[in-house]
Amino acid sequence: MPEQIKKTRQPRSHSETQSDASSATGSQTKSLAVDLDSLLDEIDEVLESNAEEFVKSYVQKGGQ
């Protein structure tokens, strides 16, 4: 099933997208099966440093 879908939709592969992924979407085009360990390594790096303060200060006015 997934192979069939890929053919009709033609999602781009990792290598195809690296060259043109400029300021727009960057890493969204990474390969589909991102290894969990390397993903968690990256999250350790980019996660807001003071999580408690960040979560506390994220307050929104209600919308629709």
Q: Is residue 42 close enough to count as binding another protein by CB under 8 A?
A: yes
Contacts of 19 (CB under 8 A, 6+ apart): none
Interacting positions 10-39 with another protein (CB under 8 A) = 11-12, 17, 20-34, 36, 39
Least Å distance between CB 14 and another protein? 10
By the 8 A CB rule, do 31 and 13 touch?
yes
Q: Do 29 and 18 contact (CB within 8 A), yes or no?
A: yes
Write out the residues near another protein by the rule CB under 8 A: 1-2, 4-5, 8-9, 11-12, 17, 20-34, 36, 39-40, 42-43, 46-48, 51-52, 54-64
